[in-house]
Each structure stands twice: as structure tokens, then as C-alpha cells.
Chain A
Amino acid sequence: MEHFEQLAASIEKGDSANTKALVKHAIGENIPAQDILNNALIVGMNRIGIKFRNNEVFIPEVLVAARAMKAGLELLRPLLGEGSIDMKGKVAIGTVKGDLHDIGKNIVGVMLEGAGYEVVDLGTDVSKEAFLEAAQNTKAKIIGLSALLTTTMPYMNEIIDTLKEADLRDKIKVIIGGAPVTQTFADEIGADGYAPDAASAVDLVESLA
């Protein structure tokens, strides 16, 4: 218990070295990897997500916390084994073509990883063909699209059309986000969901998965 709290706090502080040490220590004490993930890593990352949503912390704080969480997750991954971590499913996420903003997308990705999903990061400037390929080949059941420019937002619609043409639309859930995106826009283009920030993105994925 105490370990968990220390570990969560270490993630919140973004202390990668300490996080690694604490994870190793917990593993040494035979605490199951899944418990370390659920009761410490996810807890810490969640707290940061909520503070970020409430404007109590900002991008730099979130990014260091994300790095610490990744460092911890790296150590746990071999122990979690395919089965358990895959249980919650795969999400492929990318910033759409013409758009290079990836800070928000990356934060969403890390928060989802923190929540136990496997995240395939497609990067930035991602074409509809690449999203289609991800839908066909990665086993991702949810695809996340990010756009920060009003000029690249409409491309989300094209991606949805591409999935439709390939007869994949009803097998894949599409969620969208990015500062200029709204729920209204999501409804308009027939996306399955929209979230205004990373913490809500996790809730959204939970509700769809």
C-alpha cells in the first residue's frame, strides 16, 4: 500500500529514476505486476490528468509524468504478458494529415496506456490510407484522430469515409479530439465520440471498449 502511494507520487512528480527504483522494489517484493500498474502507475497518471484538466498543472508537468510512467511501464510489460494487458484492447492514435501538432495526442496516448490500453502511435501528418492500414492490420478496435488546425479538421471526415468504403466502419470505433474540435463537429461527421481533454478521453474509451 505504502509502496503504491510512493510510486503514484513519484509519477506525479515526474521522477523517472525514482519510479524505476520503486517499481523494481515492488517487483522484488512479489507484488503482482497488474496490481502495481492499477494501484500505482495508473493512479499517479490519473491524478496528473485531473490536475491538468483543472489547470493546476501544465504541459511540462504532464510530459515529465508521462515519461516517468512509461519508464515504469517498461519494467512491468514483460511481466504483464500479452494476455492481461491486451484485455483492455488496442487503440491506434494519430494526428491527421497536414497537421504536426502532437503534444495533445501524445498526452492522450500516454493516459490511455496508463489506463491499461495498448496504444499504437501512428505519429503526425497521418494519411487516410495509413489510418485504414492501421484499422486493417493492428487489431485496434478504436482509432483516435487528433487535429489542432481548423484547416485539417475536415480531413477527419475523409478518414471516416475511407473506413466506410473499406466496409470497416461498423467494426471500428472512431474518436476525435484537438482544441478546435467539438462534440457538434463529431456528431456532424458521424464519429463515435469526442473528448475535450486527455482524462475525458480515457473515460470515453472506457465507455466504448
Chain B
Amino acid sequence: MGKELLFAVFRNKIPERTPWVPFAGVHAGKLKGYLTQEILTDGDKLLESLLEVNRVYSPDGQPVMFDLQLEAEILGCDLIWDKKAPPSVVSHPLAKTRNIELSIPGPDDGRLPIILDVMRNLKERVGNTTALFGLICGPLTLASHLRGTEFFLDLMKDQSFVANLVEFCREVNKNIATYYIEAGMDVIAVVDPVVSLISPKHFEQFLSEAYTEIFAHIRKTDRFSSFFVCGDATKNIELMCRTKPDSIFVDENIDMVQAKMITDAYQITIGGNLPLTTVMLLGTQMDNMKSAVDLMDKMGRQRYVLAPGCDMPYDVPEENVIGIIQAVRDFEHTKAMLQNYTRENFDIPVDLPDYGNLFRPLVEIFTLDSATCPACGYMKKAVDEAQEHFGKKIDTVEYKLTLPENIARAKKMNIQHVPVILINGDIKYSSYLPSRNDLFKEIEGHI
């Protein structure tokens, strides 16, 4: 279902709702309590984290690994690791030489066996419903990994070297794309943040052909392609379109409406550009719903995919993503809910229970709408199971924020994020699904 929505958009059809692709790279690890290096080097942990992303964020498409240093590492760049960010390249094999004596990575090199294995597994587990994205490091970024900052001077001063290096990187890209396609990827995304730093003239001179060839290579295998930039690439969007990818995903500093006019002219899908830091990392759940609703409102359903601007920061709170999913799943109600929420005079009278003097424990759950928000659904199910288990010994009630009076109640109780489970008026689990055991024990303690 989900993946068909995305494919429909790529095929220029109008889907029944906007598809959504959360770029949970390093952030996937957070859902399972793993640090970056653990998920980027250990296939089991990566798979576990990606399955969790799939379960909690019910994506229509999802990337398998977001590490633009993977190819560079194989080609001889040293990496340093960070706890919560992708690794960084710290040395460049071509820093002091213009002899490109490097060989194209094979499927058994570096961390490729791990990632290919995870791709095959993930394909088997969720590939029927979710489009899987294989991400490769684009030629310009890869070239600058291999050569270092000197590469920018080469662009001006040694054009034949640049052409040779880009050609090598293009071949690396095509080979990696083939491995990923054979491992079951539906979409190959070429990610090239450095593209935002060069002029259209240089793009045309050094990248147009390489990209056209890479996307043609992907098209031949009947898979979809994406061009991700990450950064302000406004001036290069038109040229990017001419290389004929199926889709272009752009970062937050790009004016989406203007960009869409360009991509529309080429019948190319555009994706993006939820702000990573100001909204996803630091905003509230409501900010996130609003950002998603506003984007979907102004972009329309044709040739548009909702996504973050780039790799999501590790510490993005789950409830913020849950808010976005709600907006995707139930656009109209979320829009209405937001209007209610921001209304100035918001005094629907609500009576709160007398929490200190209850006959039996009261388990309350606030949801966006358990019918459409998967995380809310899981938490609601846990509460239902508790009701079944304890029978008449407890009371349970769900408040969906789709109703204004429930928003008033949430405000009165100072609830900032949902889904949330409260016992006798105290917040117990916020955007976090307790195990059956934990929840039952907690309730037991109140009987």
C-alpha cells in the first residue's frame, strides 16, 4: 500500500494521500538505544533499528543506511566516529597525488557485505509494503572525500583531473547502484550535498553527463532514482532535472513552491523539506504537525513526497515524527485540530476527575487518533489489553485530540506531547510503548 502510493507519485499519478519518507539514518539507532557506530557497523543492530522505524513511523519509503562515508572508507579515507552523527572523513588518499589508482569497490569490500545483507533481510520483512531506498554518495561529494578541499581549487585549475576523478566516481556509483538493486532496493538515491557549493556552470561542465549516465543506468533496471542534495541548491535544480532522475529531494533552505515549478516542468517528483533542526529536533509536536500540514497544503498531491530536508538528527523526539505521521494519515482532521489548538479564546469548560479520590485506578490515554496514528494505536492497544486483564479493577479512557474538548482537556492538564498514558492523572509513558509487563506492574501498584 504505502510503497504503491510512492510509486504512483513517481509515475505522475495523483495518490489518495501524500506519501511520506522519513530519512531516519542515525536516528534509527535512537529508537533502539544504539549509537551511530553500532548501527552503521553491526548488521543485526541496524536491521533491528530499521524494523523499529518501520513499525513506529509506518513510512511509505525508508532509507536503509544514511552514511555518505561508506564508499570513501573503502577507497582509503580514514573515518572518525561520533556518537550521534554519521562518521567523518579525516584523510584523503588523493590529497597529494593526482594519480587515480583506485579500484572500484566490490560487494565484499568494507561495510558493503553488512549493508547488502541488511537490505536483503529488510526487503523480505517489510519490502511488500515499504519502498526501500539505497543511498549512495554522489560523485562530487565522493570526489571531495577522496581529494579533500583541494578539489575545489582543481575545479578551477585542473579540469582534466576533475573530469577523470568524476568519471571514476560515476563508475563507483553505477556499480554500487547495481549491488543495491540486486539486494532488492526499489529506489536508488544519489546523495550529493557538495552540489550546493558549486556554480551551475561547473555542474554542467563536470556533472551533467555523469548524472545523466547514472540515472539512465538505474532506469535500465526498472527501478526509480532520486537526487538528494542537502543544502541550498536552488540555482542547480533545473540542471539537476535535466539529468532525468525520477525525483529530487531538497533541503530546508529551498523555496519549495518555486522549486516545484521547475521540477513540474520536467514532470519530476520533488520531496522535502521539513526543517531538521528548528522544527524536527527542537520544535513541539504541534510545530511538526503544522510544518507537515503547511507543506502538503502548498505542494498539493501531485509529484510531491513529504520528507525531512536531509538525514534526521539523532535526537529528534519520536513524538514529533508521530505528529507528522498524523498529518500525513489524516490531513483534514489534523488541519482542523491545529486550528482549534491555536485558537485564541479556548475556553471549553472541562471537568477533571478528582484524581486524589478515585474508586479505582484510572488509566487515561491521549492520542492524536488511534485509528490513524500507528504509535497511538500501539499504545491504545496496550491500554485495551490492560482493561481486559484487570477487568472491573480499573477504568480506562481514550481522549482523541481530534475533538476540541479533548484539546481543552490536554491543555488544562498541561500535556505537551501525545500519545501519552497517564495513571491517576500522572504522566507515565509519553510517546513510549511500555512492555505489557511494565504497564501491568505499574497499574498493579495503584490497585
Contact surface of A with B, Cβ cutoff 8 Å = 14, 55, 57-61, 63-64, 67, 98, 100, 102-103, 106, 149-151, 180
B120 within 8 A of A: no
A100 to chain B, nearest CB (A): 5
Q: How far is the CB of B316 from chain A (nearest CB, A)?
A: 11
Q: Give A47 Cβ to nearest chain B Cβ, in Å.
A: 16
CB <8 Å contact, B156 and A14: yes
CB distance from B206 to the nearest CB of A (A): 11
Say whether B277 contacts A60, CB under 8 Å: no
Count chain A CB atoms within 10 A of each CB in B156, B197, B235, B277 and give the residue with the most: B156
Apart from A63-B153, A100-B90, A150-B313, what are 18 other A-B pairs with CB-CB below 8 Å?
A14-B156, A57-B199, A58-B198, A58-B199, A59-B198, A60-B156, A61-B199, A63-B149, A64-B156, A64-B157, A67-B153, A98-B82, A103-B152, A150-B276, A150-B277, A151-B82, A151-B84, A151-B313
CB distance from B87 to the nearest CB of A (A): 11
Is there an interface contact between B235 and A55, defined as CB atoms closer than 8 Å?
yes
Interface residues on B, range: 20 to 34
Contacts of B198 in A (CB 8 A): 58-60
How many A-B residue contacts, CB cutoff 8 Å? 46
The answer to whether A60 touches B202, judged by C-beta atoms less than 8 angstroms apart, is yes
Kindly state the separation between the CA atoms of A168 and B12 in the bound complex, as whole angstroms. 62
Closest chain B residue, CB of each to CB of A102: B149
Asked if B149 contacts A180 (CB within 8 A), the reply is no
Q: How far is the CB of B44 from chain A (nearest CB, A)?
A: 26
Residue from B85, B90, B199 within 8 A of A149 (CB atoms): B85
The answer to whether A180 touches B277 (Cβ under 8 A) is yes
Whether the Cβ atoms of B153 and A103 lie closer than 8 Å is no
Q: Is B279 an interface residue (CB 8 A)?
A: no
Closest to B162 in A: A60
In the bound complex, residues from chain B placing their C-beta under 8 Å from that of A55 are: 235
Closest Cβ neighbor of A99 among chain B residues: B88
Which residue on chain A has the smallest CB distance to residue B253? A179
Q: Report B265-321 residues with CB < 8 Å from chain A CB.
A: 276-277, 281, 313
With most chain B CB atoms within 10 A of its CB, the pick from A55, A60, A106 is A60
Residue in B82, B153, B276 whose CB lies within 8 Å of A64: B153
> Using Cβ atoms and an 8 Å threshold, which residues of chain B touch A58?
197-199, 202
